[in-house]
Amino acid sequence: MLAGVGAALVTAGAGVGGWRAASGSMADYATYAARLRGNLAPPDLQAVVRYATLAANGHNTQPWSFRLETQAMEIRPDLRRRTPVVDPDDHHLYVSLGCAAANLALAAAATGRPGELSFAADGGVRYDYLPGQPRLDPLVGAIPRRQCTRAEYDGRTIPAAVLAEIERAAATPGVSLALVTDRARINRARDLVLAGNRDQMNNPAFMHELKQWIRFNPRSAMATGDGLFSAASGNPVLPTDLGRFAFDRLFNIAEEDRKHARQIDSSAGIAIFFGERADPEHWIRVGQACQRFALAATHLGLKIAFINQPVEVAQLRADLAAVVGETRRPDILIRFGYGPALPFSPRRSASYTSTA
Ligand SMILES: Cc1cc2nc3c(=O)[nH]c(=O)nc-3n(C[C@H](O)[C@H](O)[C@H](O)COP(=O)(O)O)c2cc1C
């Protein structure tokens, strides 16, 4: 749909030069994304914070700030970056902090700052250094390579030993994980994703909020360093005005439904995460678990994508939980499988305040 609009505009006279000026180039974007994902070198605190910011996070709002002390680091919620329509109780915001905390702990330990995570009473996460040797976990290498890959996968089954290794890496106190690889239950979850998608796309407030976070081209993705870059979701790049126009007028629910269905049908399985309790501490724990799940999957050559619609649409949560015989609130739904790589998503440059 968007590709058709793009071609029409070019032939209508905007011209390739004008198009490029308005959108920026994918080559420049690739250089930008690679720089963000360089090694942990030099192995300083700037690099540790940069690795923390490469974590998964809802709508790529990056709702965090970092504070460094002499013997500790803190990740604090940045409530200016809330998404109140899709995430009215800040559930995703705290899960996102947990994802960043998982990366931070791995990167800090790899650069000679082993330590442990705890939960600050004000909703933040604390990482206190402990004496010990640097710890180079293989998951560290996956941090810059992990992405949410919103593409069709190749349908291949995953060996049981590989799944067991991912499950082990994701194990986190206070969180349980249900892995589903049989088609009957994947189909039940898929139908809930489609129901959630329809509900959200019919909600003007949801669509308005989503549109604010879409970056339709490399130029705007690099300028803000946040948001959902269209190419990272497998969509074509467009000048911003045209992208917004297309988003308002041409987004088609039936087409989106078919795309989600194809993507889930091509996946090897789904993972559903449940926190023991529904509070910020447990949402942070869930974030740690699902980030570690994604890193282990990446390390083992798999791709993952969040398909959280039946978590975000509150009235679908019980049905999603029932797919795996649960009654608690489900926190995160992820699909996984073998698939292609897409362009990476942007990040704001890593910054922190220091009281050291
Ligand atoms: C709590 C949470 C919920 C998310 N929900 C969705 C979702 O429903 N659909 C989706 O496509 N991506 C979802 N994501 C993925 C983010 O959009 C993604 O992590 C972000 O855009 C950064 O991209 P990256 O993970 O590829 O670096 C979610 C991520 C988190 C942490």
| Residue 52 CA, ligand 1 centroid: distance in Å | 15
How high is the pLDDT of residue 15?
65
Residue 207 confidence class, pLDDT cut points 50, 70, 90: very high
For the chain, give the number of residues: 356
CA separation for the pair 186, 322 (Å, rounded): 12
Mean pLDDT of 45-58: 98
- Establish whether residue 59 lines the binding site of ligand 1, counting it when its CB lies within 6 angstroms of any ligand atom: yes
- For residue 348, the 8-state DSSP code is P
Nearest CA residue ID for atom 2, ligand 1: 58
Mean pLDDT of 194-223: 98
How high is the pLDDT of residue 10?
46
pLDDT at 12 over 60: no
pLDDT at 311 over 90: yes
Residues 147-196 pLDDT 10s: 999 999 999 999 999 999 999 999 999 999 999 999 999 999 999 999 99
pLDDT at 11 over 60: no
Q: Pocket of ligand 1, candidates 306, 311, 317, 320: which has the most ligand atoms within 8 Å of its Cβ, to mutate?
A: 306
CA separation for the pair 21, 174 (Å, rounded): 50
What would you report as the CA-atom Rg of the chain, rounded to the nearest whole angstrom? 20
- Establish whether residue 92 lines the binding site of ligand 1, counting it when its CB lies within 6 angstroms of any ligand atom: yes
pLDDT at 6 over 50: no
| Residue 36 CA, ligand 1 centroid: distance in Å | 18
Nearest CA residue ID for atom 13, ligand 1: 306
Residue 13 confidence class, pLDDT cut points 50, 70, 90: very low
pLDDT at 208 over 70: yes
- Poorest-confidence range of 198-207, 280-289, 304-313, 347-356? 347-356
Site of tokens 């996984």 = 336
How high is the pLDDT of residue 251?
85
> What DSSP string runs through 300-325?
TT-EEEE--HHHHSGGGHHHHHHHTT
Long-range interactions of 132-138: CB distance < 8 A, separation 24+:
134/109, 134/110, 135/109, 135/110, 136/109, 136/110, 137/106, 137/109, 137/110, 138/299
Q: Please, are residues 273 and 167 in contact by the beta-carbon 8 Å criterion?
A: no
Report helix angle 160-170 to 280-299, nearest 10.
Answer: 140
CATH topology of domain 160-337: NADH Oxidase (3.40.109)
pTM of the predicted protein model: 0.96
How high is the pLDDT of residue 20?
76
How high is the pLDDT of residue 4?
47
| Residue 15 CA, ligand 1 centroid: distance in Å | 34
Percentage of the chain with pLDDT > 70?
96
- For the chain, the structural domain boundaries read 38-138, 160-337
Residues 81-127 pLDDT 10s: 999 999 999 999 999 999 999 999 999 999 999 999 999 988 899 99
CATH architecture designation of domain 38-138: 3-Layer(aba) Sandwich (3.40)
- Establish whether residue 291 lines the binding site of ligand 1, counting it when its CB lies within 6 angstroms of any ligand atom: no
- Establish whether residue 342 lines the binding site of ligand 1, counting it when its CB lies within 6 angstroms of any ligand atom: no
Q: Please, are residues 282 and 275 in contact by the beta-carbon 8 Å criterion?
A: yes
CA separation for the pair 206, 309 (Å, rounded): 12
How high is the pLDDT of residue 122?
81
Q: Tell me, yes or no, if the two domains 38-138 and 160-337 fold the same way.
A: yes
| Residue 199 CA, ligand 1 centroid: distance in Å | 19
Q: Pocket of ligand 1, candidates 308, 332, 336, 348: which has the most ligand atoms within 8 Å of its Cβ, to mutate?
A: 308
> Average pLDDT over the chain, rounded to whole?
94
| 53 or 351, greater pLDDT | 53
